[in-house]
Amino acid sequence: MRVILCENYDEMSEKAAGMFAAQITLKPESVLGLATGSTPVGMYKRLIEMNKSGTVDFSGVTTFNLDEYYPIKRDNNQSYFTFMKDNLFSHINIDLKKTHIPNGETKNPVKECEQYEKMIRQAGGVDLQILGIGQNGHIGFNEPDASLNSFTHLTSLTDSTIKANARFFESANEVPKQAITMGIATIMSAKKIILLASGASKSRVVAELLNDGINTSIPATLLKTHPDVVLICDKDAYLGAKLGVDIGGTNIKFAVVEGENVKYKACVDTPKTTDEIIDTIVKETKKLKKEYKIKAIGIGTPGVISGGTVTATNLPFKDLALDVEVAQRTDLPTNMDNDANCAALGEVIFGNTTDCDNIVLVTLGTGVGGGVIVNRQIMASNKSAGEIGHIIIDMKDGRECACGEKGCWEQYASISAFVKDAVHAANANPDSVLNKIYEREGRLSGRLIFEALNEKCPVAEEVFDQYLEYLAVGIKSIAMAFGPDAIVLAGGITKEGDKLIKPLRKKLPKDLRIEVSTLQSDAGSLGAAML
């Protein structure tokens, strides 16, 4: 695959239009495969100008469009029929009888597909195929799947495509659920292919095009086996480095990620004031910019993000537009999200749940935090969405929570709660091993409770069993509410591994997948980089 890297969308459109026009000049009777979507619009605009100025003549060409929603009326203003008319056909000297778009109105889609495929063959096959690319790697409407249908066929759209294309409709509900699309074999039989990609939302899939892998779950990667494909993409879509920043109460972590490869990790102490924190981020970014092609910054911050500002309790942030401040001082596009959400994103992209689309991360620490990932994206992070530590598990005599409620899960399932319960039990059982350890150390911790458990202390066992009950009750609620593919547990105590997980699993439904984070405290900065 040849790659042409352009400065921006306009340059990409200009280059693509140049190649398109050259094809027609060399062969005025060319059969052209056309694409829809927002990406080729700029190229079509340029071609219209070239046609008007007499540089290119469309009178001899035959066209076949890649796809069409199904069912859809031709005159629907979101049909690809209307799209082609508005964006190209009604502005150029093309013979409309020689333009073809799958018929979204047909009563017999199977027959329509067969005929469409036959017409392409009868026309002599496609000389030049233009392609855009979906955020999930689809081409035409060939969605990710274990085995891809080869020829023109009726297909169901994935939820992620419906969501991505909802921007053109009133709502996601209006997006047709099916489409007729050329198949992968139809596309691959084109003599030449131009693949267009623009914007950061395509950078993940462009990175996949640039590595060696071929994978039906990213259908565009199959193009790597075609002998004549040119990828024309703008800088935003092209692999560049992203900087992830995870601000914690004790330290700030940095991670540089290229595609999905981690290139650099660092950790510095968190300074006291807001200005010093911003200075630290800016200084580190400037340093890293010299070494890596950093194109964007993502920041994970504690606290609640609402209306574009963050307010945190354990940091001096109050209504702070942190992303704007950092963007202004670094000249880099900057996004921010809640730190637990970033960690959850980090888990699904880099951790041991990369095979999942939907996960919930549960962080067991001083409190209980977490993030919810739906379709590999952070679930709406405004206000308190994802604040799973504040699920109420005891309404009657619930323990008081700093949030003002009673009975919040974190008052039972956090490490602080576990230790508090253990101290209570140690005091009530002066002869227990647990109490001996407590007296010896002058305190208890997760690790010290496990020391008592290793010595088979019945008091510690009882506290632990109760703790697991608390943990399980919240996890079960989360599983019921979100139905995730997996729940990932993180935090110091999870380093106990099987000692914690095995007995916990016994208290949970068998088919609920529980994983221990392999990234632990790195998840936040890695996930932030992917914002």
Active site residues: 67, 136, 138, 143
CA proximity to 513, closest of 482, 467, 468? 482
- Please give the Cα distance from 407 to 411 (Å, whole number): 7
Told to check if 39 binds ligand GLP by CB under 6 A, we report: yes
Q: How far is the CB of 332 from ligand GLP (least distance, A)?
A: 23
Q: How far is the CB of 38 from ligand GLP (least distance, A)?
A: 3
Scan residues 146-165 and list those touching ligand GLP (CB under 6 A). Answer: 161, 165
- Please give the Cα distance from 77 to 352 (Å, whole number): 43
Show the 3-state SS of 445-498.
CHHHHHHHHHCCCHHHHHHHHHHHHHHHHHHHHHHHHHCCCEEEEECHHHHHCH
Contact between 1 and 221 under an 8 Å Cβ cutoff? The reply is no
Told to check if 33 binds ligand GLP by CB under 6 A, we report: no
CA proximity to 326, closest of 297, 302, 288? 297
List CB contacts of 135: < 8 A, sequence separation 6 or more.
160, 164, 201, 202, 204, 205
Scanning 132-140, 282-290, 340-348, 405-413 for contacts with ligand GLP by CB under 6 A, the matching segment is 132-140
Give the helix/strand (H/E) hosting 128: strand 128-131
**Is the Cβ of residue 135 or residue 466 nearer to ligand GLP in the bound state?**
135
Told to check if 35 binds ligand GLP by CB under 6 A, we report: yes
Looking at 37, 42, 474, 527, which residue binds ligand GLP (CB under 6 A)? 37
Cα separation of the two ends of the chain: 28
Told to check if 140 binds ligand GLP by CB under 6 A, we report: yes
**Is the Cβ of residue 9 or residue 470 nearer to ligand GLP in the bound state?**
9
Told to check if 137 binds ligand GLP by CB under 6 A, we report: no
Q: What single-letter DSSP state applies at residue 531?
A: -
- Please give the Cα distance from 202 to 493 (Å, whole number): 38
Looking at 134, 176, 300, 484, which residue binds ligand GLP (CB under 6 A)? 134
CA proximity to 463, closest of 452, 474, 477? 452
Told to check if 38 binds ligand GLP by CB under 6 A, we report: yes
Q: What single-letter DSSP state applies at residue 139?
A: B
**Is the Cβ of residue 65 or residue 338 nearer to ligand GLP in the bound state?**
65
Beta pairing partners, 261 = 258
- Please give the Cα distance from 367 to 313 (Å, whole number): 13
Scanning 50-58, 87-95, 133-141, 182-190 for contacts with ligand GLP by CB under 6 A, the matching segment is 133-141
**Is the Cβ of residue 35 or residue 184 nearer to ligand GLP in the bound state?**
35
**Is the Cβ of residue 181 or residue 353 nearer to ligand GLP in the bound state?**
181
**Is the Cβ of residue 36 or residue 435 nearer to ligand GLP in the bound state?**
36
Looking at 20, 141, 412, 470, which residue binds ligand GLP (CB under 6 A)? 141
Scanning 7-15, 100-108, 127-135, 263-271 for contacts with ligand GLP by CB under 6 A, the matching segment is 127-135
Query: In terms of residues, how long is the chain?
Result: 531
Told to check if 256 binds ligand GLP by CB under 6 A, we report: no
Contact positions toward ligand GLP, by CB under 6 A? 35-39, 66-67, 132-134, 140-141, 161, 165
